[in-house]
Structure 1
Amino acid sequence: MKKRQNVTIKGTKDGIVLHLDDSCSYYELKKELDEKLSENQRTQAESQLTPVKVDVGNRYLTDAQLEEIRDLIRQKKNLVVDKIESNVVTRAEVDKLKAENEVVTVARIIRSGQVLEVPGDLLLIGDVNPGGTVIAGGNIFIMGSLKGIAHAGVFGNDQAVITASSMKPSQLRISDCLNRAPDNAQNNEKREMECAYIDDNHQIIVDRLQVLINLRPNLTRLEGGH
């Protein structure tokens, strides 16, 4: 009977992919991984640096075990760990994902020197005064005047938007893009129901709120509906 392989090595144009069986014991897996990598190493050119992607399937690995796998790969000449992928999602990751997709509603005025930060979307019922700051991992919706600083998509979400009933910010930030007070916000010009978003040139644009219907259709998240 042919022995079952717990470790499969597949070469790609970007390096090698290691598929690790998720049903065998961790000890067996580590032992075979060491053997297979040693065999593979003898076929590699001495000067060739090879990125390694590891797929552990449905196996849960502790941080210590993940580090052991990384160390085992690093010990082999010219192998560099690119990433380790798993189908297992931890409770902490689920909670983080849930928080980042939740809309937090706050009814208050953000005064000068105050900072309000949420992991997901922010719905603020109130004003952001000059010197006040609101920060969100997702979108920022302000039912009031924005006269301070707003930073949406703080974790790198380029699709995040900022909306306000009255848009007169001292600074707008979305992801890593920054835009100071828009030019046409001078002379206390009244600006109602507007939005800010990143365009195709990676610039922050302030426009009518209605443009979001076409630009960000996924803003509408109705469960069981369309």
Structure 2
Amino acid sequence: MTEKQHIMIKGVKDGLLFLLDDKCEFGVLVSELKNKIEKTHQQLLSGPLIHITVKLGRRIITEEQTKLISDIIRSQGNLMIQAIESDIPAEEKNKAHAELKVMATIVRSGQVIEFDGDLLLLGDVHPGGVVRCSGDIYILGSLKGQACAGANGREDAIIVASYLKPTQLKIHEIISKPFEEWEETDGLMEYAYIQDDAMVIQKLTLLHRENRLPIMMRGV
């Protein structure tokens, strides 16, 4: 049985069209794209200047993921990207961030808070407490319990906390390793996100790299 292909390459009037599967994991797409560019389709993609249009289907990707796709394609010197396009209307792309819940409370051991959208929690999450959202989680306090963002499939969701020392984090389907194993992190003003199918912790000052609007820009 042949392995399923997640990227189709078609010839069009002004170049080539890359059709990317919007159902598979982003990391799978990256691996297949590298393989096609460097090995299996090198003969097709070599020669004079070729204009490339990338179609994402209904997948929404971050600025960093867009750059990664662009860098892989441009590594073949004669390929020029004309556009990277999604079939989702702009208003639907912003829908995931349209609803922001602001809650002032302390989440104690045994308590579970669930919300469909983004959550701004003004308070602490104690060990044994759980916060679960379909969107982003912003905690202006200590996160020492569990937090799950992107619960309905959003791989680009993030978890932010003033003091980030949880028992467990989960974004989409990626679960963090035990936080005592994290190196060089003091927990102060940090956020978690997914990169290359792994969870990454960064200082909040680097949040701009995710190309996100600050909460205050969303009417809070």
From 144, 155, 158, the equivalent of 2:155 is 158
The superposition leaves residues 151-190 of structure 1 with CA deviations (integer Å, 9 ceiling, x where unpaired) of 000001011000000000000000011003324569xx84
After TM superposition, list the pairs within 5 Å mapping 1:85-124 onto structure 2: 101-124=98-121
Q: CA deviation at 1:210?
A: 1.6
Quote the Cα distance in structure 1 between the aligned partners of 2:166 and 2:114: 17
The letter of the residue matching 2:138 is: F
Gaps of 5+ in 2: 1-7, 9-91
Give the counterpart letter for 1:217 in structure 2. R
Q: Match of 1:217, SS?
A: coil
Matches within 5 A, 1:71-90: none
Could you tell me how far apart the structure 1 residues matched to 2:211 and 2:146 are?
22
Relative to the length of structure 1, the TM-score reads: 0.50
Question: Highest relative contact order (Cα 8 Å, sep 6+), 1 or 2?
Answer: 2
* Paired residues, number: 127
Once residues 174 and 146 of structure 2 are traced to their aligned partners in structure 1, the CA distance between those partners, rounded to angstroms, is 13
Q: Which runs of 5+ in 1 are unaligned?
A: 1-12, 14-93
Q: Which residue of 1 aligns with 2:201?
A: 206
What is the RMSD of the two structures over their aligned residues, measured on CA atoms? Answer: 2.9
Cα distance in 1, alignment partners of residues 153 and 141 from structure 2: 25
Return the offset for 1:192.
Answer: 0.8
- 1:196 corresponds to which of 192, 196, 202: 192
What is the deviation of 1:214? 1.2
Structure number with greater Rg is 1
Query: Which runs of structure 2 are paired with 1:123-142 in the superposition (5 Å)?
Result: 123-142=120-139
Task: Tell me, in whole angstroms, the C-alpha distance in 2 between the residues paired with 1:214 and 1:100.
Answer: 17
- What is the aligned partner in structure 2 of residue 216 from structure 1? 211
- Is contact 2:96-2:135 (8 Å) kept? no
Matches within 5 A, 1:21-100: none
If the length of structure 2 is used for normalisation, what is the TM-score? 0.52
Question: 1:99: how far off?
Answer: 8.2
CA 192–184 in structure 1, closer or farther in 2 if over 3 Å, else same = farther
